Copies of this chain bind each other. A is one copy, B any other.
Amino acid sequence: MKEPKEYLGHFEEIVLLAILQLKEDAYGAKIRQKVSEATERDVSIGAIYATLDRVERKGFISSWQGESTPERGGRAKRYFRVEGAGMQALNDTNARRNKLTAGLDLGFDAA
């Protein structure tokens, strides 16, 4: 053990956090909605999936097929979950930032 730490890109981090927030209900469309809300910006669905796929390839999250929406129908959902490696990356990314934020007097919390 002594692998170089894996850090997350800015948007990758955002997406992982959104999945955690959504818990059992994390699928593409909902994740997009969550991210848009939090960032107060329109985010394209393509942006979401491209990131999701990339992060899954790295083993930070996993996905599986779900069902379609009961009342209205439509295509089946693809659910996502953050894996251990993903939590680790989130942690490392946060630690990296915290080290540089410590002792700084910013306008916001520098936890």
User: Which of A44-52, A57-65, A86-94 is the contact stretch?
Assistant: A86-94
Determine how many copies of this chain the complex contains: 2
CA separation between A111 and B34, bound complex, in Å?
19
Given contacts A9-B10, A91-B106, A95-B108, contact A38 B4 (CB under 8 A): no
Looking at the assembled complex, report how far the CB atom of A28 sits from the nearest CB atom of chain B, in whole angstroms: 17
CA separation between A9 and B11, bound complex, in Å?
8
Looking at the assembled complex, report how far the CB atom of A7 sits from the nearest CB atom of chain B, in whole angstroms: 7
CA separation between A83 and B21, bound complex, in Å?
34
Name 15 extra pairs, CB < 8 A, besides A39-B99, A98-B108. Answer: A5-B40, A5-B41, A7-B39, A9-B10, A10-B93, A14-B100, A17-B101, A18-B100, A20-B106, A39-B96, A87-B107, A91-B108, A94-B109, A95-B108, A98-B109
Report 19 cross-chain contacts, Cβ distance below 8 Å, ordered by A residue. Answer: A5-B40, A5-B41, A9-B10, A10-B13, A13-B97, A14-B96, A17-B100, A17-B101, A17-B104, A18-B100, A38-B100, A39-B96, A90-B106, A91-B107, A91-B108, A94-B108, A94-B109, A109-B111, A111-B111
